[in-house]
Structure 1
């Protein structure tokens, strides 16, 4: 497994205190990366950073809302101050409100777009000059199978994830000549706080399991492993791809 690591990779992970984001940050740290996590809750960021630092990890954190321009500017300033360059950007943060299309208030679906899509676009734009200075630089966008098929998550969520997958392809084309790779991972239902209430519904849970070849939901660490591989130099010929982490869901018909 020589060189299958992320040693020295300067990495920014959004939504890094819970679920898939936390698992990604932890995986990257274990593989030798230097990580900066961003999340809205300052207490959670501080506690997690102190825990990992006590373990000897190269980690810092910043409390901020990636959907707010002023906070994004603070994120950029923190990257500038700590590294002046960036090797990996992980756009992980996400939210959802599950309703039928006709039931949404405009403010609700705009919130989903702001957090899931527009924040990722703006962070890519913000981090672009730092990625140019990075070594083997890449972006990993955390999308969802909801961006490809309906999974009962609500239309706005699926729309934002579909757009994030397309953003991945477009940026891969635009940035290839600069040596910046851009890829996405699309998880199926994963055991995280975001879907906790869904997985607690027996009938819904059974429908999910019945659809999944591996007969279980994913663990956040399994999605993190895919993200880590895409960020490795070993994945240097992979760009513009959407890696589906779905336990075989998409392969199953009836």
Structure 2
């Protein structure tokens, strides 16, 4: 990033000292959100089902000087969501300023071709997960004194 761009960014606003959890932060909109938050100085934690992709992105962010950590997490799993919040709690000393519920999944096929497992996976990832993460993150958001929740959605959900 050019020095003048960085100077302009710092003049607009800063997220230094803030913490953020962005689900699905290794691609697409989630990736852009992680980059933007980290670029403004926030410490960011993200997750992905794909360990190889997660490790590649974390290396990229380290090279850019961003403070981003992450872990593998299947958000359709209640146990994985609880482990994720446990990791975030440890990483951010029990405080979280920003929760971005971004991760989602879609299986494209005709309605009659969906299996019950397909439906359960999509509902657990796209609907149960954000709701449950808000519940789990509530104590951390409250402890920060400045908690914010962002939901990313799509017409595909």
For Structure 1 versus Structure 2, the TM-score category normalised by the shorter chain is: 0.7 to 0.9
Q: Is 1:51 matched up with 2:69? A: no
In structure 2, the partner of 1:127 is 137
Q: Is 1:31 matched up with 2:31? A: no
Structure 2, gaps ≥5 residues long? 1-7
Greater relative contact order: 1 or 2 (C-alpha under 8 angstroms, separation 6 or more)? 2
Structure 1 length-normalised TM: 0.55
Q: Is 1:69 matched up with 2:64? A: no
In structure 2, the partner of 1:215 is none
Provide the aligned C-alpha RMSD in A: 1.6
1:3 deviates by 5.0
**CA–CA separation in structure 2 for the residues paired with 1:57 and 1:98:** 35
In structure 2, the partner of 1:142 is 152
Q: Is 1:95 matched up with 2:105? A: yes
1:104 deviates by 2.1
In structure 2, the partner of 1:6 is 15
**CA–CA separation in structure 2 for the residues paired with 1:56 and 1:117:** 34
- Deviations for 1:63-110, whole angstroms, at most 9, x for unmatched residues? 111111221122121112111110000000011012333332222122
**CA–CA separation in structure 1 for the residues paired with 2:65 and 2:41:** 11
Query: How many residue pairs were aligned?
Result: 147
Structure 1, gaps ≥5 residues long? 147-152, 158-254
In structure 2, the partner of 1:18 is 27
Structure 2 length-normalised TM: 0.86
> Counterparts of 1:241-252 in structure 2 under 5 Å?
none
> Counterparts of 1:200-219 in structure 2 under 5 Å?
none
Q: Which has the larger radius of gyration?
A: 1
In structure 2, the partner of 1:78 is 87
